[in-house]
Structure 1
C-alpha cells in the first residue's frame, strides 16, 4: 500500500473517531452545569423569593425561583446561560425587581435541582410548559422574555410561538451552529450538532418588539452576530451596543443598566417619522 494512501486512511479514521466522540460527548462541551442537593436553600439579600418544582409529562423535575416585588408591572421569564445554576444567576434578578417586575428563573435539565434527560426539544417543551404556567396567572401583554447567551435562542423560540410583551436578547448567537463552527470549521457540525439552535430562523416569526444588547468586545459570541440578527426584522428590532463589554461582564457597565432600564420602563422616545428627513435622498449634484 502506498504511504500516501496509508496516511490518508489514518487521517480519515481519526476524523471519524473525533466525529463520533463529538456527537456523544457534546453535552459535556456545551453545558457546564452546577448540580445542587435537593435540600439546598436559596437565599438572596433584600429579595423575596419562592422556590417551586414543576413535573413534566416525561417525569422530569424543573426547578425554578420566583423573585417577587410589590405591585409588579409584569413578569420577566429569565432564561440563563449554559453554566452554573440559578443559585448564582439569581443575583441578576435585582435588575428587574428594581424596575417593579417579578422574575421567574428556571434551571434547564441537569442543572441545579432540575432532572431529566436533556435535549433541545425537551428544553423547548419544558420552557413552553413554564410559560403556560405563567400566562395562566399573568396576561401575555405583561410578560417579558429575557434570554442571556444560551438562553437567547430558547427565548426567541418562545417568542416566535407566543405573544409576549417584548423579547430582550443579551449576547445572542445567530445560531449555536455558527458559534461552534468558529472553533471546529472542518467538522460536519450540521450533521453532528444536537443543539443547532437557529435563533435567526425563529426570529423571523417574532411579532413583539425585539431588543438586543451585546458587548462590542465579546470574544465568545461576536457582536456581529447581533448585527445580523437585527437585520432580520429591522423595523421591529433595536440594537444596543455596550462599548467595551465582553461576554460575561456587561453587568459591570453603567450603560448596560441604563439601557436595560429604558427598555423595561419603555422610556424610548417615539418619533413621528413623517416630520423628519427620512424620505430625503442625498443629492450628488
Structure 2
C-alpha cells in the first residue's frame, strides 16, 4: 500500500471518529446543568416567589419560578437563561425586572435544576411554547416580554417568531449555535453534526414585535459583530444597545445596562412623522 494512501486512510478514520464523538458528546459540551433535589427550597432575600411544575405530554416535568413585584404588575417577563447552572442561581437577576413592577417567570430546561426529561432542541422548543401558553391563560400577549440570555436568546427568538409578544429582548445572542461552534471546530461538518443548530437568524425574520439586542463590545465567546449582523435582519423593528467594555457574563455589572433596560421596558415609543424630518434630504456634492 502506498504511504500516502495509508496516511489518507488514517486521517479519514480519525476524522470520522472525531465527528462521531462530537455528535454524541455535544450535550455535555453545550450544557452545564446544575441538578437540584426535588425537595430543594428556593429562597431569595426580598423577593416573593412561587414555584411551578408543568408536566409535558411525554411525561417530563418542567420546573419554574415566578418572581412577583411589590407594586401593581405591568406585565410578565419570560426569562430564558443561559446554558449553565439552574434557576437557583439565575433567579438573582429577576430583581432587574421586578423593581420595575414586572412579574418574572424563569424555567429550567430539561435536565437542569428540578426539571426532568430527555433533552433535545425539539423538546425544549415544545416545552417553552407550553410555558408561553400557560402565561397567555393569565394575561394578554401585549403584556408579555421575552428575554433571552445567551443560549436562551435562540429559544426566545423562536417563541417570538410564532407568537405575538410585546417585545423581544436578546442579551448576548448568537447568529446560530452552529456558527459559534464553528469557531472551535472549523473543519468539521457541523451543519450535519449539530443537534442544536438554533438558527436565530432564520427565526428572527418572522418576528413581528419590537426587537432589542444588548451586547458587550468585549464579548469573547459571542463577538459583538454577531449582534450587529442580527440587527440588520429586521432593521425597522430592531434596536442595538451597545455596552462599551462589556463581556459575555458581566453586562449586569454596568450602569449603562440598567439604564438601557429601564428605557426598553418602561418607555412608550413615540410615532415619528417622517414627512416632517430630513430623511429625504441629501447632502449636496461639493463643486470644484
Scaled to the shorter chain, the TM-score interval is over 0.9
- What is the match of residue 51 of structure 2? 51
Shift of 1:270: 5.0
Structure 2 partner of 1:177: 178
- Does the alignment pair 1:165 with 2:176? no
Where does 1:152-231 land on structure 2 (aligned, <5 Å)? Answer: 152-231=153-232
Quote the residue 1:79 is aligned against.
Answer: 80
Q: Residue by residue, what CA displacement relative to the aligned partner does 1:103-154 show, whole Å, maximum 9, x if unpaired? A: 0000000000000000000000000000000000110000000000000000
Write out aligned runs for 1:2-81 (5 A). 2-69=2-69, 70-81=71-82
Tell me the equivalent position of 1:125: 126
Whole-angstrom distance in 1 between the partners of 2:243 and 2:270: 20
In structure 2, how many angstroms separate the alpha carbons of the residues matched to 1:269 and 1:227? 24
**Cα offset, 1:71, TM superposition:** 1.1
CA distance in 2, matches of 1:225, 1:179: 10
- Post-superposition shift, 1:283? 2.0
Which residue does 1:103 correspond to in 2?
104
TM-score, normalization: structure 1? 0.98
Residues 118-127 or 261-270, more deviating: 261-270
Q: Matched residues in 2 for 1:11 and 1:32: separation?
A: 31
User: Gaps spanning 5+ residues in structure 2: where?
Assistant: none
1-structure distance, mates of 2:134, 2:239: 29
Q: How many residue pairs were aligned? A: 285
Q: Secondary structure at the match of 2:229?
A: helix
Structure 1 residue 31 displacement after superposition? 0.5
Match of 1:236 in 2: 237
CA distance in 2 between counterparts of 1:152 and 1:209 reads 15
Secondary structure at the aligned position of 2:142 is classed as helix
Cα-Cα RMSD: 1.0
The structural deviation recorded for 1:207 is 0.4
Would you say 1:88 and 2:76 are equivalent positions?
no
Q: Report how far residue 44 of structure 1 moved.
A: 0.4
Q: Deviations over 1:171-217 (max 9, x none)?
A: 00011111001111000000000000000000000000000000011
Partner of 1:148 in structure 2? 149
What stretches of structure 1 of length at least 5 have no aligned partner? none
Would you say the 8 A contact 1:262–1:268 is kept in 2? no
How much does 1:276 deviate? 2.1
Residues 241-280 of structure 1 aligned to structure 2 (within 5 Å): 241-266=242-267, 271-280=272-281
Counterpart-to-counterpart distance in 1, 2:83 and 2:111: 11
Query: Hey, what's the Cα distance between the residues in 2 that align with 1:4 and 1:282?
Result: 64
Query: How much does 1:267 deviate?
Result: 5.1
Deviation at 1:275, TM superposition (A): 2.4
* Cα drift, residue 268 of structure 1: 5.3
